Structure 1
């Protein structure tokens, strides 16, 4: 029976979640504060943590960080409100398995819990050999997608190391799997490694292996992923999270095509292709923690940018139907399509969580649907109420006015948060200063 640590300061939400999950066979330990939550995390070793972001003595990110550093890398689901949506996306980048926005739908929460607990939580089982790419991959038809597909087909047959760039949730691992499938190594293994989820002190051992007695806890010899992937492909997701020591080991492995297990003096030849991915600029001079420039160039023999969902709206319908089909299979439903109102809402939402967010929204709607068509009332409130005001539309004037009001409110909040520092405000909003000045003039915010 899986053990879940629930950290929620809203008594009503806490009671609803606890009762519902207990009825579904889970053991629940609950608290309403960060400090006690951290203590329970250590003493009870839960399989999963569900935590609200806003808590009386801190926030859920503190819980997430502690859970990731736990010996078993305890999985975490974050509960947020819409105003915290960017925090939710950041939590996914850090290693949270999912986020759920309030108001919470119990069935949606249950699906997220089941998903989180499907993959074993132990570090040995977490980084397993992945199956070949499946029918889940959708080849887009828009200009940005076509350009990406051309690059994939161009570089896949070669043995060049590839660096995949793109926002969190945009589908970088799917691109990596397709590169492997189209390569000469397609009949050998594809191993995906989440560099952000590996405890720093174990990263070298996980990647390159160790010999018995080389450090405390090394009770047996261990074969690392680079040796296990002989003849195949290794995918290093969020490679920027690797420590400087491991970066040096990785650089040496690439240069010499050999590895040395921790505690060993013997070199082991390797034959792998490396595909790395990141959602940040590894060679940026403004980056707080430096990434080795020589390693960056070794990994970046060829780069592919995965467009954000916002930049590939032409493919939105393709993705929607793919996620409806996969959700039908998973949930035993028979949903066929979305109605026009939902289509319009989707077209005017910014999708900060990209394909991962779209998949979650579709899955939730399919779960709640009582008929063959997804309607607007089945969408989370943040999707319906917080559309992207920058998207041009022929929608009714009242709809445009609503968007403009929302945009003005967002800019006002950002200005207050940065104490009217225009540079910081523009950066926070993800726009340039000229656009910010124009918007401030339009809305009379000068």
Structure 2
């Protein structure tokens, strides 16, 4: 068993826990308690190290010494998830925690084994050797964190899509079994005499697990992205067919009007030529009474070019056509190009599809029958503002419903489907009401 001084143990413990917690929350920016993730990791590492140092089993029982502190750390994190009503992230969070543990262990064991091999056991276990090892560890882990930056948006998207599905729990069972076997194997080898000889072997096992799990996650991510791409293509095809059908209908109306327009001119010209003004007036009245208010779409997909997500763009246009058919004029405003994350934009599209169509029957009875949909963006939030007219007898029933003699506008499903840290506000003025939904933006930038 390798032994070091108390100071070396404390420094190594702090460094390892800092990076472990950092990689735990690397793809869960919405779960962090503090605004700055580094500060949160720093504070957790200090508390964990203090408990580990003061734990009487730390230097007497390897299994009990490490297990108690880890149980405290994970219990604290699970408690935070429960208090903040984010338990749906628990399976994915445990998966990422296992991967983070194996990654940190692999790098630490590899660096330590190389130092023992190059400099000897005496220097590697000294305070100076510990400092050198920690410097190398931090450099490698910082490089790994930088290299994983481009995976943040795809991983966030994958995690969100797997929440609550059976695949998520199968993956959790697989990861938990591997982690349990590895931990028991690690403690068994470290308890042996001359355990330094097993460090290369143990590091190789950890490295194999890290690479295997990373490749499995990568293939799962690619499969998910391919399925999502196929779904988006079929969705785009359906919306384009709908758009083309609307354009064809309008073109048919235009061609019919062109033919009728020529007949109208001929008829009106004939009455003028015969100076039959009574007949001219009657024909004009007949023509005017036959006109119908056009429900042609004034909005086109090209008008939504400020929305970078193709899926959300077609969702907005689809809801626009639904509003037209219900007799409601929907105005869509996207004043500036959006730069929100994939997850945020996707959640916004889900909220739109779950909310707006259900409101159209009631909005069609309002005077005037119109609604304004506006997307605004700040540095930290993506905001959706839905502004609609209300009758004089409208009143706010609770926090999520507007009641009047013309019907009930129920926005409770919006509040129920909001993710963590998102907010919804419903307010009424004299002649209009407004719903504002604010979704927090995570760190990964939007891609496609």
Please identify which structure carries the higher helix content: 2
Shorter-normalised TM range = under 0.3
Query: Comparing both chains, which one has the higher relative contact order based on Cα–Cα distances under 8 Å and sequence gaps of 6 or more?
Result: 2
